[in-house]
């Protein structure tokens, strides 16, 4: 009962926040320099045409009418049309969601799978070499800019170990030759970039595995996703390692741990069922708040690896100031952030009986 | 308040552990490098060349195809491997990677310090007032904080830069102006809008922490007592609440300096910062040449990493010594 | 004399701090008889709690048990240990300090159990009370179901991380079984918790302090222990509830015949509960004997001081006698080789500069005291002058801080 009330309250708050995000974005768009019609049609377009577009798009209306129009459209799931491509923004957002979800989930899995054992080892073997190693790793991890890390991973993999990464040009430039400028990311063909899909998506890979008993698709998917996931996941791995270590050290010093030992409970049970579980409860909340960082990281990582997700589309939209597209993507990201945080809070409430009792 | 106990705790922790020492030495080295950049740089970091039509299919005598002509007519070698002349090589427009590494520290640190200072100036008063008075002011703050938090920091920053534009501010270089270094640029471009945007993106974290502190401090006996004596709220805020909330704010500020360094680098990498004299931009510049000229991207990244490590080590030191009640790593970006 | 169950000899536990070695417990001797309630009483910082933890082998870094033996009398355990560790076994008595750690730890929750001072912080806040008691039941049941083989050393760990991960996927593989849960509810009923089936599913914060202490006693009883160590079991509770908890302990002790080592700073608790008592000071027992011996026939000036500091309801004493000075420094290099109480002792004499041994007061050897006053009478002419130790700078409140 309490849980339902809590969820309803959080949902209402979330709606309020989304409304705030929409309003802030609309305000930014209103104050941003440049005439939308000109942006749509390009510099030097026919003045009559510009005026017609302004009229059609309602840009001559008072600002509050435009705002109400926009919010009204949103309520019907209409995010407007891209100024650049004139495509439906909702469709442009939806087609890029799977790639971003795959990337962020893979990064989160990488982070959790590496970080929690590392943090536990670090906390339970304090001041031993493994602890120093984990501490050093986590210091480096939270201090490394992830776009640079991505490039260095590509460098190490493709150049030093000779495993070419799809986004990199493998055509060697002979020293001394005139360098012919080539596009910064060669790999469009691998991704089928114009349609906004990866060459191999996870659902495709699983389908191939189940129906054709073919692992090659899954292998290709893994090959595409490993470096981006590592790049995006490193900061989180480092962060969770740090939080787990310090939280677990705090937790191990609590009297109930001594009491649990006195009961004669086996060590793994003390360590995982009691201590680690209690350590994770506050960490979950921190991670919920850090989801913004994860999504910001996804934007950068997608740019580095030319990963056809929302982040890459957002950067493109921002570069050309395609406001409807950019608004649509940011609203979706904010929405995802809020949903994740509601889930996290619900989980926190479930795990922490002291809160749920209130 | 920074009491004697805190100072002695800081000293104690510093003495006992090894990492704060590394952090302090590293940070001092980077700060000195930034201040004395014109003296340390071996070349003008902004001097570039362009492909010249010499009318000959061959490069000038003694040079390869990888040469360009600088504005002053001199020949600039592009993409030179590290040599004694260019200890870290040159980039794709013939700029000395080492000199740009040295100058990059200036931009990075200035943006980080000014951006964090701006966030402090906005966030702390707002948070303290909200926490101290509570009620509707507090509700409004917390709701707007929620809205701010729903934007990923980097995304919000990119959108704001889009609005403000990204004109760099040319700041005259006192060392060059005073004539201590010759052949160095007389002013360096600071990405002003990035600085402001960084402040606008992270202030909400300061507001949250300051609010929490004010909220707990306003129920302390001495605050209640001051109130009953008729001390005006404003005085209570500056005399009691602010000094006693400083510890977590200092620790948070350290964390946020690191975050802003990374934010600036990310924006520059994505081409949103408006200046090209930046570690982040340099990484982007070398990206296409990674396979054959890895040094162009590699060294600026090392610069960012070392600076952030130094700041983080300092932050850990403050956190361990001052033991503020900050949950987790509240990095806003 | 009835049969002893624990024979502790020369037990020392030291803490290795940045200021130096701290002798929290040193040269601790104690013989516990089966079925008795033995009280250890002393000021805070006298090493009582560390003694309890040392007996449970729960001393944490930077502390370590540095010497001594803990003999535990149990014929079947001795039989199990005899083949593998013949040196550690003497008749029915096994020296727990001479067997490996995991063999020693297998006694926790089966032969020894412990009640802690603060019930609220001694339960895991995020698991139900019933679950936590059921865990203790499970430890005991698994130990009974699978008696220790002689080859204790070669046996793998019973419960690994793998088993835990498995149990998360398969509820049937959970550590705590339904029968343990049922037993936990029975135990809650035994300790007088009303509506136990329902309360078992509640979390610690939903219990009152007294209820939670009852639950902790239930948890300790789950082990069916030979020896129950109760470390300040009533200190955190209201006075009225203290009495209920002590009565409960008394009842349960009479029922099960377990031995209780009761650690407290409260002489009232000792008087109410104990058969014998040991007075602890600076990490060692300075006076021990039956309740009557120690309370009525007091020899050690420290014991006298403690008894004098209890408010007397009949008002025979004009005012409360506090013991002047602080608990001495327990830093190894500051302790020296003298009577540690001498600097606070109103009857300190020149002989006290040399450490006294344990003297028997009575012929039957049941009342012993670590003080020269057991042998000779106080002679004011040989008194140590005031401030004899303060001038050395050795007596500081460091001892209190280091705890």
Query: Does CATH place domain C284-402 in 3.40.50.300?
Result: yes
Quick: pLDDT tens for C66-97: 988 999 998 888 888 888 888 888 888 889 88
Distances (CA, A) of C37 to A72, B45, B118, C273, C298: 79, 83, 67, 7, 20
User: Band of the pLDDT at B25, cuts 50, 70, 90?
Assistant: very high
Structure tokens at B167: 């004109």
Report which of residues C400 and C241 the model is more confident about.
C241
Residue A40 lies in a domain: yes
According to the model, what pLDDT value does residue B301 have? 94
Looking at chain C, which subunits does it touch, using at least 3 CB pairs closer than 8 Å as the criterion? Answer: A
Residue C403 has pLDDT above 70, yes or no: no
User: Band of the pLDDT at A148, cuts 50, 70, 90?
Assistant: very high
Residues A286 and A316 in one domain: no
Where do the domains of chain C lie? 124-219, 284-402
**Alpha-carbon span A311 to B155, nearest angstrom:** 9
Taking alpha carbons only, the member of C86, C97, C95, C103 closest to residue C149 is C103
Report chain B residues whose CB lies below 8 A from the CB of A295: 152, 155
According to the model, what pLDDT value does residue C396 have? 38
- Domains of chain B, earliest start first: 4-47+95-322 (1.10.3720.10)
Interface test with B, best of A296, A338, A345, A348 (most B CBs within 10 A): A296
CB distance from A352 to chain C under 8 Å?
yes
Task: Output the pTM of the full model.
Answer: 0.83
According to the model, what pLDDT value does residue B259 have? 93
**Alpha-carbon span C206 to C208, nearest angstrom:** 7
- C-beta atoms of B158 and A179 within 8 A: no
Structure tokens at B238: 């500056």
Smallest Cα distance from A155 to chain B, Å: 7
Structure tokens at B113: 């310090």
Residue C179 has pLDDT above 80, yes or no: yes
Query: Tokens 């390009």 — which residue?
Result: A42
User: Band of the pLDDT at A237, cuts 50, 70, 90?
Assistant: very high
- C-beta atoms of A264 and C110 within 8 A: yes
Report chain A residues whose CB lies below 8 A from the CB of B309: 139-140, 143
Residues A133 and A185 in one domain: yes
According to the model, what pLDDT value does residue A191 have? 30
CB distance from C144 to chain A under 8 Å?
no
Q: What 8-state DSSP symbol labels residue C383?
A: B
Quote the domain boundaries for residue A230. 98-291
Taking alpha carbons only, the member of B19, B201, B199 closest to residue B110 is B199
ipTM over 0.90: no
- C-beta atoms of C126 and A281 within 8 A: yes
Q: What is the CA radius of gyration of chain B?
A: 24
Looking at chain B, which subunits does it touch, using at least 3 CB pairs closer than 8 Å as the criterion? Answer: A
Smallest Cα distance from B182 to chain A, Å: 32
CB distance from B220 to chain A under 8 Å?
no
Interface test with B, best of A9, A145, A330, A333 (most B CBs within 10 A): A145
Quick: pLDDT tens for C325-353: 766 777 877 777 778 888 788 777 787 87
Quick: pLDDT tens for A1-58: 567 888 888 889 899 999 999 999 999 888 887 777 777 777 677 778 878 877 777 7
- C-beta atoms of A169 and B143 within 8 A: no
Residues A178 and A50 in one domain: no
Q: Which residue of A has its CA nearest to B143?
A: A17
Taking alpha carbons only, the member of B294, B229, B268, B321 closest to residue B112 is B268
Report chain A residues whose CB lies below 8 A from the CB of C222: 263
Q: Which of A202-211, B55-64, B109-118, B125-134 bottoms out in mean pLDDT, i.e. has the lowest?
A: B55-64
Q: Which residue of A has its CA nearest to C59?
A: A258
According to the model, what pLDDT value does residue C207 have? 92
Supply the CATH number for residue A164's domain: 1.10.3720
Which residues, listed in sequence order, are joined to residue A175 by a DSSP beta bridge?
none
Q: CB-CB: which of A31, A143, A285 is closest to B305?
A: A143
- C-beta atoms of A292 and B152 within 8 A: yes
CB distance from A281 to chain B under 8 Å?
no
State which of B86-90, C38-42, C106-110 shows the largest mean pLDDT.
C38-42
pLDDT mean over C206-214: 91
Interface test with C, best of A256, A278, A280 (most C CBs within 10 A): A256
Which residues, listed in sequence order, are joined to residue C114 by a DSSP beta bridge?
C229
- C-beta atoms of A266 and C116 within 8 A: no
Chain B segment 87-126 residues within 8 A of A by beta carbon are 92
∠ CA A210-A216-A218, nearest 5°, is 65
Q: Write phi, then psi, for B310 (nearest 5 degrees).
A: -60, -45
Report chain C residues whose CB lies below 8 A from the CB of A262: 56, 58, 108-109, 112-114, 116
Q: Which residue of A has its CA nearest to C133?
A: A263
Residues A316 and A169 in one domain: no
According to the model, what pLDDT value does residue B75 have? 62
Q: Which residues contact B7 (CB under 8 A, 6 or more apart)?
A: none
Q: Which residue of B has its CA nearest to A151?
A: B287
Report chain A residues whose CB lies below 8 A from the CB of C60: 258
CB distance from A355 to chain C under 8 Å?
no
- C-beta atoms of A262 and C109 within 8 A: yes
Across the beta sheet with C37-41, the strand order is C112-115, C227-231, C259-264, C37-41, C276-281, C284-290, C368-369, C359-360
Quick: pLDDT tens for C215-271: 999 999 898 889 999 998 888 888 888 888 899 999 999 998 899 999 998 888 898
- C-beta atoms of B291 and A168 within 8 A: yes
Q: Which of A104-113, A255-264, B133-142 bottoms out in mean pLDDT, i.e. has the lowest?
A: B133-142
- C-beta atoms of A265 and C139 within 8 A: yes
SS (H, E, C) chain A: CHHHHHHHHHHHHHHHHHHHHHHHHHHHHHHCCCCHHHHHHCCCCCHHHHHHHHHHCCCCCCHHHHHHHHHHHHHCCCCCECCCCCCEHHHHHHHHHHHHHHHHHHHHHHHHHHHHHHHHHHHHCCCCHHHHHHHHHHHHHHHCCHHHHHHHHHHHHHHHCCCCCCCCCCCCCCCCCCCCCCCCCCCHHHHCHHHCCCCCCHHHHHHHHHHCCCCHHHHHHHHHHHHHHHHHHHHHHHHHHHHHHHHHHHHHCCHHHHHHHHCCCCHHHHHHHHHHHHHHHHHHHHHHHCHHHHHHHHHHHHHHHCCCCHHHHHHHHHHCCCHHHHHHHHHHHHHHHHHHHHHHHHHHHHHCHHHHCC
According to the model, what pLDDT value does residue A195 have? 27
Count of pairs with CB atoms under 8 A, one residue in A, one in C: 101
Structure tokens at C156: 């793998």
∠ CA B92-B304-A286, nearest 5°, is 135
* Domains held by chain A: number: 2
Quick: pLDDT tens for A244-286: 998 999 899 899 999 999 998 888 889 888 999 899 888 888 8
CB distance from C163 to chain A under 8 Å?
yes
Q: CB-CB: which of A255, A351, A357 is closest to C118?
A: A255
Chain B segment 266-285 residues within 8 A of A by beta carbon are 266, 269-272, 280, 283
User: Band of the pLDDT at B267, cuts 50, 70, 90?
Assistant: very high
CB distance from A350 to chain C under 8 Å?
no
Average pLDDT, chain A: 81
Quick: pLDDT tens for C116-151: 988 889 999 989 999 999 999 988 888 877 655 444
Report chain C residues whose CB lies below 8 A from the CB of A274: 124, 127
According to the model, what pLDDT value does residue B10 have? 82
Q: Can you tell me whether residue B309 is helix, strand or coil?
A: helix
Chain C segment 168-227 residues within 8 A of A by beta carbon are 175, 203, 205-206, 216, 219, 222-223
- C-beta atoms of A292 and B153 within 8 A: yes
CB neighbours (10 Å) of residue C195? 10
Q: Which residue of B has its CA nearest to A140?
A: B309
**Interhelix angle for A323-351 vs A89-124, to 10°?**
40
Structure tokens at A99: 């790639």
Smallest Cα distance from B58 to chain A, Å: 11
- With beta carbons less than 8 A apart as the criterion, state whether A330 and A299 touch: no
Count of pairs with CB atoms under 8 A, one residue in A, one in B: 183
**Alpha-carbon span B268 to B287, nearest angstrom:** 13
Backbone angle region of C39, left / alpha / beta, with phi > 0 → left and psi within -120 to 50 → alpha: beta
Residues A147 and A190 in one domain: yes
Report chain B residues whose CB lies below 8 A from the CB of A32: 162-163
Report which of residues C36 and C315 the model is more confident about.
C36
User: Band of the pLDDT at A188, cuts 50, 70, 90?
Assistant: very low
User: Band of the pLDDT at B310, cuts 50, 70, 90?
Assistant: very high
Residue B129 has pLDDT above 70, yes or no: yes
Taking alpha carbons only, the member of C235, B329, C286, C234 closest to residue A245 is B329
pLDDT mean over C3-31: 88
CB distance from A174 to chain C under 8 Å?
no
Q: Which of A54-63, B19-28, C22-31 bottoms out in mean pLDDT, i.e. has the lowest?
A: A54-63
Report chain B residues whose CB lies below 8 A from the CB of A20: 143-144, 146-147, 150
Report chain B residues whose CB lies below 8 A from the CB of A321: 162
pLDDT mean over B256-265: 94
Domain boundary among A261, A291, A321: A291
Residues A237 and A159 in one domain: yes
User: Band of the pLDDT at B69, cuts 50, 70, 90?
Assistant: low
Residue A128 lies in a domain: yes
């Amino acid at each position: 009962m309490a849980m339902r009330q809590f969820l309803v309250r959080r949902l209402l708050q979330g709606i309020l926040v989304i409304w705030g995000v929409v309003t802030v974005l609309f305000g930014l768009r209103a104050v941003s320099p440049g005439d939308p019609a000109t942006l749509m049609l390009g510099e030097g377009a026919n003045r009559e045409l510009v005026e017609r577009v302004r009229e059609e798009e309602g840009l001559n209306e008072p600002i509050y009418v435009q705002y109400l129009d926009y919010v009204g459209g949103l309520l019907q799931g209409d995010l407007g049309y891209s100024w650049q491509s004139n495509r439906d923004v909702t469709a442009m957002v939806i087609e890029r969601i799977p790639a971003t979800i795959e990337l962020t989930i893979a990064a989160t899995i990488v982070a959790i799978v590496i970080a929690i054992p590392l943090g536990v080892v670090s906390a339970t073997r304090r001041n031993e070499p493994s602890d120093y190693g984990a501490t050093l790793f986590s210091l480096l991890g939270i201090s490394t800019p992830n776009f640079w890390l991505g490039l260095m991973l590509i460098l190490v993999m493709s150049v030093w170990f000779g495993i070419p990464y799809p986004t990199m040009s493998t055509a060697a430039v002979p020293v001394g030759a005139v360098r012919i400028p080539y596009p910064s990311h060669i790999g469009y063909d691998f991704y089928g970039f114009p349609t906004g899909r990866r060459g191999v998506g996870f659902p495709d890979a699983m389908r191939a595995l189940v129906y054709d008993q073919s692992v090659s698709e899954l292998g290709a998917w893994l090959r595409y996703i490993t470096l981006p996931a590592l790049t995006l996941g490193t900061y989180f791995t480092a962060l969770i390692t740090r939080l787990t270590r310090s939280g677990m050290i705090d937790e191990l010093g609590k009297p109930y741990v001594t009491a649990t030992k006195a009961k004669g409970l086996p060590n793994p049970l003390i360590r995982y069922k009691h201590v680690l579980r209690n350590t994770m409860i506050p960490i979950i909340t921190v991670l919920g708040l850090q989801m913004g960082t994860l999504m910001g990281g996804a934007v950068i990582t997608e740019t580095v690896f030319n990963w056809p997700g929302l982040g890459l589309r957002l950067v493109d939209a921002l570069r050309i100031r395609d406001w409807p597209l950019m608004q649509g993507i940011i609203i979706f990201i904010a929405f995802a952030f809020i949903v994740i945080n509601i889930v996290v809070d619900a989980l926190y409430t479930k795990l922490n009986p002291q809160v749920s009792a209130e | 308040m920074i009491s004697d106990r805190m100072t002695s705790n800081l000293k104690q922790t510093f003495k006992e552990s090894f990492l704060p020492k590394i952090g302090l030495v590293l940070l001092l080295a980077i700060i000195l490098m930034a201040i004395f950049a014109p003296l340390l740089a071996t070349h003008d970091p902004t001097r570039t060349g362009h492909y010249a039509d010499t009318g000959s299919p061959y490069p000038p005598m003694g040079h390869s195809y990888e040469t360009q002509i600088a504005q002053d007519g001199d020949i600039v070698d592009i993409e030179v491997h590290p040599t004694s002349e260019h200890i870290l090589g040159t980039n794709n427009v013939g700029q000395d990677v080492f000199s740009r590494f040295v100058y990059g520290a200036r931009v990075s640190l200035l943006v980080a310090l000014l951006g964090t200072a701006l966030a402090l100036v906005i966030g702390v008063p707002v948070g303290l007032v909200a926490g101290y008075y509570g009620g509707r002011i507090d509700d409004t703050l917390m709701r707007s904080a929620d809205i701010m938090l729903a934007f990923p920091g980097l995304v919000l920053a990119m959108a704001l830069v889009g609005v403000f534009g990204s004109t760099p501010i040319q700041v005259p270089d006192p060392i060059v102006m005073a004539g201590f270094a010759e052949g160095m640029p007389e002013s360096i471009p600071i990405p002003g809008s990035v600085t402001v945007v960084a402040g606008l993106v992270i202030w909400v974290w300061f507001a949250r922490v300051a609010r929490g502190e004010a909220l707990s401090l306003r129920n302390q006996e001495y605050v209640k007592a001051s109130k009953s004596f008729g001390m005006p709220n404003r005085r209570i805020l500056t005399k009691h609440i602010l000094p006693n909330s400083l510890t977590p704010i200092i620790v948070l500020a350290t964390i946020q300096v690191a975050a802003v360094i990374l934010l600036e680098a990310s924006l520059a990498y994505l081409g949103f910062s408006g200046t090209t004299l930046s570690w982040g931009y340099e990484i982007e510049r070398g990206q296409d040449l990674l396979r054959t000229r890895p040094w162009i991207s590699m060294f600026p990244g090392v610069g960012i990493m070392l600076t952030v490590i130094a700041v983080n080590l300092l932050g850990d030191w403050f956190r361990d010594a001052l033991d503020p009640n900050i949950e987790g790593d509240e990095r806003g970006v | 004399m009835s049969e002893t169950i624990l024979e502790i000899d020369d037990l020392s536990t030291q803490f290795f701090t940045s200021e130096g070695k701290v002798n929290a417990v040193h040269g601790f001797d104690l013989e516990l008889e089966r079925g008795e309630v033995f009280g250890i009483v002393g000021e805070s910082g006298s090493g009582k709690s560390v003694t309890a933890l040392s007996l449970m082998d729960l001393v944490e870094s930077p502390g370590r048990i540095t010497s001594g033996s803990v003999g535990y009398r149990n014929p079947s355990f001795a039989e199990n240990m005899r083949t593998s560790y013949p040196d550690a076994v003497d008749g029915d008595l096994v020296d727990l300090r001479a067997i490996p750690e995991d063999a020693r730890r297998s006694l926790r929750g089966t032969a020894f159990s412990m009640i802690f001072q603060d019930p609220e912080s001694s339960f895991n806040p995020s698991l139900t009370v019933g679950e936590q008691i059921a865990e203790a039941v499970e430890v005991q049941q698994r130990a009974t179901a699978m008696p220790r083989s002689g080859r204790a050393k070669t046996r793998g760990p019973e419960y690994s991380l793998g088993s835990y991960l498995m149990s998360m996927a398969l509820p049937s593989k959970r550590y705590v079984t339904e029968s343990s849960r049922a037993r936990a509810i029975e135990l809650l009923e035994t300790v007088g918790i009303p509506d136990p089936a329902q309360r078992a599913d509640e979390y610690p914060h939903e219990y009152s302090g007294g209820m939670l202490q009852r639950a902790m006693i239930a948890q300790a009883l789950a082990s069916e222990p030979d020896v129950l160590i109760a470390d300040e079991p009533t200190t955190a509770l209201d006075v009225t509830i203290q009495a209920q908890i002590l009565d409960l302990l008394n009842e349960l002790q009479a029922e099960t015949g377990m031995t209780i080592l009761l650690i407290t700073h409260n002489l009232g608790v000792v008087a109410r509960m104990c058969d014998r008592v040991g007075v602890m000071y600076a990490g060692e027992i300075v006076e021990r004997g039956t309740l009557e011996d120690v309370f009525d026939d007091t020899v050690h000036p420290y014991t006298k001081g403690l008894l004098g500091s209890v408010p007397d309801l009949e008002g025979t004493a004009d005012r409360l006698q506090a013991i002047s000075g602080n608990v001495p420094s327990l830093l190894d290099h500051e302790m020296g080789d003298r009577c540690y109480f001498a600097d606070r002792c109103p009857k300190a004499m020149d002989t006290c500069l040399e450490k006294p041994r344990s003297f028997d007061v009575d012929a039957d050897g049941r009342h012993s005291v670590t003080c020269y006053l057991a042998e000779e009478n106080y002679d004011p002419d040989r008194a140590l002058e005031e401030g004899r130790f303060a001038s050395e700078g050795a007596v500081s409140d460091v001892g209190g801080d280091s705890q």
